[in-house]
Amino acid sequence: MTTLAPSADTARAHGGPDSDPSSQESGAGGTGNSHDEKKPHGKMLHPVVMTIWVVLAAVALTYLIDAGQFERKDKLVVPGTYHVVPKTQSVATLFAPAVTQSTPQQAAPASLVSAFVAVPNGLIKNAPLIFMVMFVGGMFGVMRKTGVVDAGIDRLLQLTAGNVYMLAPLLMVLIGLGSTLLGFISEYLVIIPMVMVLARRLGLSNLFAVGLVAIAAKVGYIASVTNPLSLAVAQPIVGVPLFSGIAMRIGVFVVFLTLGILYLLVHVRRSGYRRATAQASLQEHPQVKLSGRHKATLVVLAIAAAMLVIGTRELRWGNVELSAFYVLISIVTAAVGRLDSRSAADAFVDGMKGMILAGLLIGLAASVELILQNSLVLDTLIDHFTRLARGQSAVWVANGLMAVQMVLDVFIPSVSGKAAVSMPIIGPIAQLSGVSGQTSVLAFVLGGGLTNLVTPTSGMLLAYLATARVGFGQWLKFILPLFVVLLLLSGGALALAVWTGY
């Protein structure tokens, strides 16, 4: 996340040379205590290296797993049509000098050439998302240059007296509602740098910042109360009305988000945060008043937030439309904030530079799915996993289907894509086992949402961590206890759904 010759404002926004000394921690972003500052971060695995290892593991799977295919109709899998496709088994294929090609009659495992070519192809596949992420960074760069971010956060801290136990729950509820009701996830990338500034003011780490955003956003996806990305594909496939069964999902959202908030606040207390110390630190900073220019900029951002909701919900904006919207907001923000054209352009470019790593990780994550798909082993994995759930009691089948979704989410991070591939198979299995379509949808959203908390193939999770400069290993150590608790509660929720005829 290091930029070349950044401006002073941008350097402070992204933890550059001019930022607080407490934030100079390459892996974690800074915790504000001397113990963390002395950690040997050079031993931490770089996220790009980690993702490349995952890509190579996917190449190995193409040699270990049989090739096969389902027939598809309108991009949906046709249940019961899986068949094995003969595959070349020679290890020499690994060193083939060209990209290996699979056909419905003859499959081929991935070669090293195929693996490397999958990297740019993954970037191309996710290009709209990658550009949207980079434009988010550019927009934040312009916002930070106007001074409204620092002034607004200082004002917020003054109004709440720096009470993180009030701020964190409020922000997490708002983020969680946007995620679970509207399907927001990538849109929250722009929030992470702001929360990083907020955390720095309070003497907290970047891990706190990314935890606040990621836990709330991911819990929203786990519950998916009215998340159109999850439900619009999954529910019609199993024959239940769109957005029906909302009561159970609301219960999941309330319980899980409450636990997520409490978990983060316990982490804050254990990290050595003391409210009195934070307040004393804040009093050392000069009292900031929002100028007329700042207030006008905040009005623009409020209108932009409203348009974001309308655009994604009513106008069906995708990543391309969102990218264009962020460029427009950057221009309007620069004009209202009275930035000259050169300063605004420099700030936008510096902000984009800060998102290059996040964009690269999103593309690398997509390459894993491409490798498995091109070698015709993805359908085999789906067929094997779904077979494991057959013939058991309804409660076990419901939990087994959730486990299937958790595993599939590692290989197919796309929510809608996973629904199109798995739900036509899972639906009939669930019905034959006495599991309702509504419960099978619940298993789908729970499984996918849980895995997205920890999987290294989730491009958006990696983008969150890259934006906050938090190492994946550090994130796992932090989130695993909460993940285990939510996993057990999800199993209980599915059991309750079966017993109550949900």
Tokens of 389: 């759930």
In the structure, what pLDDT confidence band is assigned to residue 10 with cuts at 50, 70 and 90?
very low
Query: With bands split at pLDDT 50, 70 and 90, how would you rate the model's confidence at 281?
Result: low
Question: Is residue 159 domain-shared with residue 244, that is, in the same domain?
Answer: yes
Q: Tell me the average pLDDT across 102-128.
A: 87
Strand extents, DSSP E, 378-464: none
Same domain? For 480 and 400 the reply is: yes
CA distances from 373 to 171, 216, 412, 425 (A): 39, 31, 10, 18
Q: How many CA atoms lie within 13 A of 172 on its CB side?
A: 28
Q: Is residue 131 domain-shared with residue 231, that is, in the same domain?
A: yes
Do 351 and 381 sit in the same domain of this protein? no
Domain containing 205: what range? Answer: 126-358
188 in the same domain as 116:
no
| Locus of tokens 């593991």 | 57
Average pLDDT over residues 86-99: 78
**pLDDT average, residue stretch 148-156:** 76
Query: What is this structure's pTM?
Result: 0.74
Handedness of CA 253, 256, 260, 262 (dihedral sign): positive
Query: Is residue 379 located within the same domain as residue 333?
Result: no
* Cα–Cα dist 198/29, whole Å: 13
Answer yes or no: do 117 and 174 share one domain: no
Q: What percent of the chain has pLDDT over 90?
A: 24
41 is a domain residue: no
Contacts of 398 (CB under 8 A, 6+ apart): 430, 435, 439, 440, 442, 443, 494, 495, 497, 498
Distance, CA of 169 to CA of 174 (rounded, Å): 9
How far is 5 from 12, CA to CA, in rounded Å?
12
68 in helix, strand or coil? strand
As a whole number of angstroms, the distance between CA 480 and CA 328 comes to 39
Using CB atoms within 10 A of its CB, is residue 492 exposed (0-12), middle (13-18) or buried (19+)?
exposed
Residues 149, 276 within the same domain: yes
The pLDDT assigned to 467 comes to 87
> Total domain count for the chain?
2
Number of Cβ atoms within 10 Å of the Cβ of 308: 19
Question: Does the pLDDT of residue 453 top 90, yes or no?
Answer: yes
CA angle 93, 99, 105 (to 5 degrees): 75
pLDDT band at 216 (very low <50, low <70, confident <90, very high): very high
The DSSP secondary structure of 118-149, one letter per residue, reads HHHHHHHHTHHHHHHHHHHHHHHHHHHHHTHH
Q: What is the pLDDT of residues 24-51, one digit of tens each?
A: 333 333 333 333 333 434 455 677 888 8
Residues 135 and 116 in one domain: no
pLDDT in the model for residue 389: 65
R_g over Cα of the chain: 23
Indicate whether 25 belongs to any domain.
Answer: no
